[in-house]
Structures are given as C-alpha cells and as structure tokens.
Structure 1
Amino acid sequence: MPPLLKLFSRLLIAGASLSLIAPAQAEWPSETVRLIVPYAPGGTTDVLSRKVADLLQQEIGTVVVENRPGAGSTMATAQLARGGRGADHTILMASPGHTIGPVLYKNLRYEPVKDFRFIRNIIEIPNVMTVPANSPYDSLGAFVEAAKTKELTFSSAGVGSSIHMSGELFKTMTGAKMTHVPFRGSGEALPALLSGDVDVSFENMPTVLAHIKSGKLRALAVTSKEPSPFLPGVGTVSQLGADQGLGEFVTTAWFGLIADDSMPDEAVTRLQTALEKVMADPGFLEFVAQVGGEPAAQAGDAFRDYVAEDVERWSAVAGQAQIEE
C-alpha cells in the first residue's frame, strides 16, 4: 500500500475510534455539579439541599452545595439566570421565594418562569396557623371573629416569606385587621410567638412542630389542602374556615430544583431519573417525616405550571396588600 494511502487509512480508523468513545466522554455530568442554596446556612432550604446533594451524588457523581443568600433568594436566582460558564452543571433549590421575589422586587432582570428549566419539585411543607399557648383563641373561627374587630398582630420570618404572604392572604380573604411584624428569620420570630408578643403566625411546620407537641404553642389549623398526619386532630384552614371566607385558602412551602434555561435536555432527564431514586431512599423519606412534609409530585412541565400559578397568586395578594420592596 502506498505510504500516503496507508496514512489516510490510519486516519480513518482513528477517526472511527474517536467517534465510538465520544458519547461516553460527553455524557452529563462531565464535571462537578453545583447546587446553589439562595439562603444562609442552617435553614430548611439549606438542610434539605445538603440531604438531597448527599443522596444525588450517589447517582450522578460529585455535587457541591454553595450558599448564596441575599434579597429574598433573588440574588442567587439572578446569577443563575445569567447563565455563562458552568451553567449546564448548576442547579438551584428554589422555594416560594422564587415566586414571591419577582412580585416584590420590580427591577429584577429575569422572568421567574420562562428563564428557567424546572427539573423537579421535591418536597412540600405546610405552614401552621399557630397562637401562643395562653392565647384566648382556641379555634380558627374565634380568631377570625376577633381579628375583624381588634388590631391583632402576626409575625413572620421577613417581608416576602411564605409565612408573611400566608398572613396577607388570610387578611385579604377574611377582612381581618392584622398588623404584620417581620423578623430576620424564623429564629428571631419564634421567641416573640412563644412569649405572646404577637398574636399569631403562619409558621413553617419544622419551626413549630416540637413546640406544638410540647404544649408551648397551640395549632389552630394547617394551611395545606389536606390535614397533616404529623398534627392529628388539627384541621385545615380551608375546612375550618369555610364559613369565614377561607374555603379556598391553601398554601405550602415547596422546594424544588431548577436550572438556567440553557441546560440541555440530556441533563434534565438525567437529573429527573436520579431524583426519583433519591426520593425513594429511606433516608430521604425519614427526613421528610422529620420536617412534617410530603414528597412533591410535579416534574418538568407540571412543575413549571405549578410555579406559574404560584406567581399569579402571590402577585394578586401583593397587589391587594400593597406590598413592595
């Protein structure tokens, strides 16, 4: 075989070999996956993210958690939306701040729905309408009647939190006269509730569950659609408050993974498959029970639609309550 022809044959063989191994080399993820937590360490979002990361890396390889708090989660979310290097290997644990933030902060440079890929909702945790143990109100109905004539107060973990917005939704649906008392996180808000400095809070289940069971706080209702198995005997706001205009009152704190809209379909599918295994893991199910939550059901387009509906709801509430940062 002439030398030139022999060289050409070798190049063809080499090219064919490379084409065979290229798919394996390009399989996602090809580098470390970063899971962004848009809040400070220690909160529910952070603890959940680290649990998911530990289990997820058993399925896809190394997952590193990074905390990027600021502006009610919108700072980290804006960084994600800008894409850039590493965007196809970056995911973010979104929560109600993702749908409430754009309602409050009018100059955000991203759209909460169209600028992202919605991978999977992971867990939903109800809020609990909770009063101090020495409160004169022993039922939701009694509280509503009092709130229509008295200046009562409700606490929250900060303006725009799901706790705050649940209280505002309660006000708009009942005409209650309640003043919002914001704190810097549930860690500061809880003592005010325990001491009776505020009349009520719509706190996340993990924050108040132990105090309700110990008798230091009294649960009037849960905000989920169905009663919580973790608070037997406690009804829902929509059931107990149907005669007070609360028949459609349903709010939960949801937590799910999103990515920049540039993330390829292959990556989204791989993550969704891996998350199905994570959410079936006994360690994950034990964690869900510890925080009084339920595994979520929405993935892909269903998760996107769920978020879009949440944006519309909080936009309406914020408009009625005239809330804006």
Structure 2
Amino acid sequence: MTGVAHGEEWPSDNIRLVVPYSAGGTTDLLSRKVADLLQKELTTVVVENRPGAGSTVATAQLARGGRGSDHMLVMASPGHTIGASIYPNLRYDPVEDFVFIRNVIDIPNVMVVPASSPYNSVEEFVAAAREGQLSFSSPGIGSSIHMSGELFKNLTQTNLIHVPFRGSGEALPALLAGDVDVAFENMPTVYPHIQSGKLKALAVTTAERSEFLPEVPALQEVGAEFGLGDYVTSAWFGLIAHKSFPEEAQAKLGAALEKIVESKNFKSFLPQFGAVAGKEVGDEFRAFVADELEKWAEVAEQANLKR
C-alpha cells in the first residue's frame, strides 16, 4: 500500500480499518457498518480483524506506523485504555502515539441481577455486599465489564468476588441461573433478558439514563451516598490513527464521520446496541481517552491486575 505523495489528495488508496477483536462481536459489527458507510463517502474500506492481548496487538501494529499508515485506522474501545493499564510495558503510548478522529458510539453497561435475586435496588445490593461476600461475573479479565465491576467494588468499598468466564457465552447463562449475584454487562447482551423478566436492571453505568431503559436510574443518581456520585463507564468505540496521519486526512475523515453519525442509516443501526452516537471529536476525544487511561490504571492497580 502506498502513502500519500506530496500534492496528492487523500485518500489515494484503500483505507484499512483494523478491528482489534475477532469477527462477530460488537466491535466487528460496528466497524463493518462504519466501513460500509465510509466507503460511500470516501473510498473502499477494507476491514481486517487482528485480535490479541486485549486489543494491544492491533494497536501496537498501528503505533509502529511506517508504509501505509496514512491509510490505516483502528476501531479503539475501552480495551485501548484498559489494555495499557494491565500491560504497562507496552512499546507504545496509548495517547501520544496516535491521533484521535472521533468517538463513534457509546453503549451503556447495565448493572443486572438474576430475576430470583432478593435485591431490587442499588441501595439494597450495596448494603448486602457490605455485610457478606457477593460475586460478580464477566466474560474475561480486563474486559470493560470486569473493570466496571472492579470500579464499583472500589468505590462502594465492598468485597465483591470476581468470577471470570471465557466470554459472554458462558458468563450470561451463569448470571441467568443465579450462580453469580450481579454483572455489569453491555446493554445489547442483557437487554432482551431484562425485557423478558429474566434479569432485573438496577442501574445503568452512563452519566444519564438510557432511552432504552428510561425507568432504570443511572448509578450516579442513586449511589452518591455509597461513593458512586462520579461513577461513569461505557463501552465506547472510536477511530484512531497513527500520529503521522495527515491533517488533510483528519479533516476529510472527520467530515465524513460527522455526516455518517447524523445519517438516518446510522441512527437506525444504533438501537440494536442500545447505543447513542459518540460526541467526542479530535482533541476532545483525545482528552477523554487520557482520562479513561488514568481511571483504569488506578482500578488495575487496586485490583492487582498489572502484568
């Protein structure tokens, strides 16, 4: 793949959009939707899946730069900051080595308990967790779901026991069966089970309530007395590029993404994830990622997760 020659208009070649996870997951589905809409605005977009080490394999490839990096993007997610917090010896800086184009979508996590649970509110759950040992599940160590639980545990000063599984395919059945007490799962994973009554939603983890669960409070609303007044987490997904990414490319790509997130096609795509369009662009997105990195580094330290 060739780079942008002097005086040549970007994009001069296909755009490579690298997904740092396996095919079929939320990041992959979103990336392919963005790629489909983006190539209608710019040029052909080729999606490549490059999973490994909590998204750090694909991110390290981007950080190395070199030939073709001016046409290469990565769909970053909480793994970008969580991975850097857990693997402190990475050979790249998760903020300084990249340019941040745009946060594309935000998906709430939902604090859910089994239908059989005796707890019907955050207050009841925290009170019980402070008296005895309760458990929370996740689809794996270092996932945004795991870290959301660790953050809740730290802020509420409870002794929740983390029970990791090998993916949501194992974690969700355990939660539904009542084998664990709570989870902080992504909205699309648990929404159907909340609707069917198999799970009870105690709160959403975003700063505001979700339009898809309008009766469910945000943790900030109900958890101030338990130390949750500043609790905010979400599964966010945005595009980043190598720090050498041309300014012209940033401008053109940003304009195309703005058009995409405002389109009816994209807006009709969001409800399947219980998502809203991301708002952070450019330097604002960069500052958001830097704040996320600081937050998860502290959580990883307290949970003794650094490797």
Give the TM bin, normalised by the shorter chain.
over 0.9
**Aligned counterparts of 1:109 and 1:25: Cα–Cα separation in 2:** 33
**Aligned counterparts of 2:89 and 2:259: Cα–Cα separation in 1:** 39
Aligned residue type for 2:91: R
**Aligned counterparts of 1:152 and 1:231: Cα–Cα separation in 2:** 25
Give the Å deviation of 1:115.
0.2
Task: Name the structure 2 match of 1:195.
Answer: 177
**Aligned counterparts of 1:120 and 1:248: Cα–Cα separation in 2:** 24
2:16 matches 1:31: no
Task: Name the structure 2 match of 1:57.
Answer: 39
Give the Å deviation of 1:185.
2.0
Task: Name the structure 2 match of 1:186.
Answer: 168
SS in 2 for 1:26: coil
Within the candidate set 260, 263, 266, 1:278 is matched to: 260
Give the Å deviation of 1:106.
2.1
Task: Name the structure 1 match of 2:211.
Answer: 229
**Aligned counterparts of 1:105 and 1:168: Cα–Cα separation in 2:** 17
Aligned CA distance change for structure 1 residues 41 and 23 (closer, same or farther; 3 Å): closer
**Aligned counterparts of 2:291 and 2:31: Cα–Cα separation in 1:** 24
**Aligned counterparts of 1:119 and 1:230: Cα–Cα separation in 2:** 27
Within the candidate set 265, 268, 276, 2:247 is matched to: 265
Task: Name the structure 1 match of 2:83.
Answer: 101
Equivalent residue pairs, number: 304
Aligned CA distance change for structure 1 residues 174 and 280 (closer, same or farther; 3 Å): same
**Aligned counterparts of 2:228 and 2:103: Cα–Cα separation in 1:** 26
Q: Which runs of 5+ in 1 are unaligned?
A: 1-21
**Aligned counterparts of 1:323 and 1:71: Cα–Cα separation in 2:** 14
Give the Å deviation of 1:24.
11
**Aligned counterparts of 2:235 and 2:158: Cα–Cα separation in 1:** 23
2:87 matches 1:84: no
Task: Name the structure 1 match of 2:24.
Answer: 42
Task: Name the structure 1 match of 2:272.
Answer: 290
**Aligned counterparts of 2:211 and 2:59: Cα–Cα separation in 1:** 33
Measured against aligned partners, the alpha-carbon deviations of 1:253-296 in whole angstroms (never above 9, x if no partner) come to 11000001111111111100000111111121011122111111
2:224 matches 1:242: yes
**Aligned counterparts of 2:54 and 2:303: Cα–Cα separation in 1:** 18
**Aligned counterparts of 1:269 and 1:188: Cα–Cα separation in 2:** 43
Task: Name the structure 2 match of 1:314.
Answer: 296
Q: TM-score, normalised by structure 2?
A: 0.96
Q: Check whether the contact 1:92–1:257 (CA below 8 A) recurs between aligned residues.
A: yes
Measured against aligned partners, the alpha-carbon deviations of 1:142-170 in whole angstroms (never above 9, x if no partner) come to 00011112111101121111111110111
Give the Å deviation of 1:232.
2.1
Measured against aligned partners, the alpha-carbon deviations of 1:220-265 in whole angstroms (never above 9, x if no partner) come to 0000101111012100111111122211111111100000111111
Larger radius of gyration: 1
Aligned residue type for 2:115: A
Q: 64-73 vs 289-298, which deviates more?
A: 289-298
2:128 matches 1:146: yes
Task: Name the structure 2 match of 1:162.
Answer: 144
**Aligned counterparts of 2:250 and 2:205: Cα–Cα separation in 1:** 31
Q: 80-89 vs 181-190, which deviates more?
A: 181-190
SS in 2 for 1:46: helix
Give the Å deviation of 1:188.
2.1
Aligned residue type for 2:185: E
**Aligned counterparts of 1:70 and 1:321: Cα–Cα separation in 2:** 22
Q: What is the CA RMSD across the aligned residues, in angstroms? A: 1.4
Q: TM-score, normalised by structure 1?
A: 0.91
Aligned CA distance change for structure 1 residues 245 and 205 (closer, same or farther; 3 Å): same
Task: Name the structure 2 match of 1:123.
Answer: 105
Within the candidate set 116, 131, 135, 1:134 is matched to: 116
Q: Which runs of 5+ in 2 are unaligned?
A: none
Give the Å deviation of 1:318.
1.4
Give the Å deviation of 1:23.
9.5
**Aligned counterparts of 2:194 and 2:173: Cα–Cα separation in 1:** 14
Task: Name the structure 2 match of 1:16.
Answer: none
Q: Check whether the contact 1:149–1:177 (CA below 8 A) recurs between aligned residues.
A: no
Q: 154-163 vs 65-74, which deviates more?
A: 154-163
Task: Name the structure 1 match of 2:157.
Answer: 175
**Aligned counterparts of 1:85 and 1:182: Cα–Cα separation in 2:** 39
Greater helix percent: which structure? Answer: 1
Q: Which runs of 4+ in 1 moved over 2 A?
A: 22-25
Aligned residue type for 2:93: E
